[in-house]
């Protein structure tokens, strides 16, 4: 490709080390071309001659960390969607919430806390908010709060803005669309935005799951941690999952992605549904 920048072995090693130790994301030798193409536009935009100059800037001179965040945005994969793996949202409504109410009065005696960890541009978090709001309508006194976190500032800004192309919500029944989405006045742009009443139920913040301390207030009753762990090395996966377990209430539920069955992990998690686990720290028969 004309003007396309290549990573030298030394630069690839430096970048790989930063991604693996800083973000915990595994980078195999085969990912070199992917990194080259994802960072190409940053180098072009900032007018650097090559990767050496760019990495030198990011690691030595980017004092406020702004470009580092842009680099992380370009490196991370933010693919997501509304009601992705929709059977899990049904499981939440039909099994998880009734069990938490029956066993602990969660959501009634105190608000239920839900966390979308690795929430990308917010589609998963708003799907959770819609599900919980629908449940609350049918169960008097049910209250909840939701936290959405990601390492990518660009993705989080999208989540906070909450504006999406109309075709992204085609999977949602039209009565639910009307209830929770506003259509843009200019109909040619075919955009929708989450209504403020639903947006107000969610707090978004930057959180690196590779950090030793997550600094979140209180424990979570439900955690959606889907399609994130696949990017991490096995040793990191167990470490991160242990920290997520520590953020869960006893009997709390952890939702994983469809390709993320937790096998032989020696974690205090117990199978509760399809890629859904329950945290019981004292019980045997762990996954």
Ligand X SMILES: C[S@@+](CC[C@H](N)C(=O)[O-])C[C@H]1O[C@@H](n2cnc3c(N)ncnc32)[C@H](O)[C@@H]1O
Residues contributing to the site for ligand X (CB under 6 A): 23-25, 76-80, 84, 118-120, 124, 150-152, 155, 207-210, 226-228, 231, 257
DSSP structural state of residue 204: E
- The distance of closest approach from Cβ of residue 187 to ligand X in the complex, given in angstroms and rounded to an integer, is 28
- The span from the CA of 214 to the CA of 79, in Å, is 23
Residue 21 burial (CB < 10 Å; 0-12/13-18/19+)? exposed
- The distance of closest approach from Cβ of residue 149 to ligand X in the complex, given in angstroms and rounded to an integer, is 7
- The distance of closest approach from Cβ of residue 212 to ligand X in the complex, given in angstroms and rounded to an integer, is 12
Nearer of residues 226 and 278 to ligand X, judged by Cβ: 226
- The span from the CA of 25 to the CA of 210, in Å, is 9
Nearer of residues 101 and 159 to ligand X, judged by Cβ: 159
Q: Strand 269-273's sheet: what is its strand order?
A: 202-206, 144-150, 112-117, 220-225, 248-256, 276-279, 269-273
- The distance of closest approach from Cβ of residue 72 to ligand X in the complex, given in angstroms and rounded to an integer, is 7
Nearer of residues 101 and 244 to ligand X, judged by Cβ: 244
Q: With helix as H, strand as E and coil as C, how does 128-152 read?
A: HHHHHHHHHHHCCCCCEEEEEEECC
Nearer of residues 178 and 205 to ligand X, judged by Cβ: 205
For 65, left (φ over 0), alpha (ψ -120 to 50), or beta?
left
- The distance of closest approach from Cβ of residue 61 to ligand X in the complex, given in angstroms and rounded to an integer, is 24
Nearer of residues 5 and 70 to ligand X, judged by Cβ: 70
Residue 8: other Cβ atoms inside 10 A: 11
- The distance of closest approach from Cβ of residue 158 to ligand X in the complex, given in angstroms and rounded to an integer, is 10
Residue 250: other Cβ atoms inside 10 A: 14
Nearer of residues 113 and 120 to ligand X, judged by Cβ: 120
């Amino acid at each position: 490709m004309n003007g396309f920048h290549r990573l030298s072995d030394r630069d690839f090693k430096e970048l790989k080390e930063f991604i693996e130790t800083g973000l915990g994301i595994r980078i195999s030798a085969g990912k070199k071309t992917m990194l080259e193409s994802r960072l190409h536009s940053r180098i072009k935009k900032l007018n650097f001659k090559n990767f050496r100059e760019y990495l030198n800037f990011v690691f030595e001179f980017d004092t406020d960390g702004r470009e580092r965040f842009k680099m992380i945005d370009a490196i991370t994969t933010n693919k997501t969607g509304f009601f992705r793996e929709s059977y899990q949202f049904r499981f939440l409504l039909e099994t998880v919430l009734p069990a938490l109410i029956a066993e602990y009065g969660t959501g009634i005696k105190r608000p239920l806390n839900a966390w979308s960890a690795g929430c990308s541009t917010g589609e998963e978090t708003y799907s959770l908010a819609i599900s919980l709001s629908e449940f609350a309508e049918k169960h008097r006194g049910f209250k909840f709060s939701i936290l959405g976190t990601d390492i990518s500032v660009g993705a989080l800004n999208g989540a906070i803005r909450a504006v999406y192309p109309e075709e992204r919500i085609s999977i949602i029944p039209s009565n639910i669309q009307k209830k929770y989405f506003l259509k843009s006045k200019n109909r040619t742009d075919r955009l929708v935005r989450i209504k403020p009443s639903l947006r107000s139920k969610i707090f978004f913040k930057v959180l690196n799951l590779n950090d030793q301390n997550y600094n979140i207030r209180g424990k979570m009753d439900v955690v959606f941690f889907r399609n994130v762990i696949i990017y991490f090395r096995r040793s990191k996966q167990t470490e991160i999952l242990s920290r997520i377990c520590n953020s869960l209430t006893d009997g709390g539920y952890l939702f994983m992605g469809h390709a993320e069955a937790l096998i032989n992990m020696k974690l205090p998690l117990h199978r509760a549904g399809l890629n859904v686990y329950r945290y019981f720290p004292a019980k045997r028969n762990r996954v």
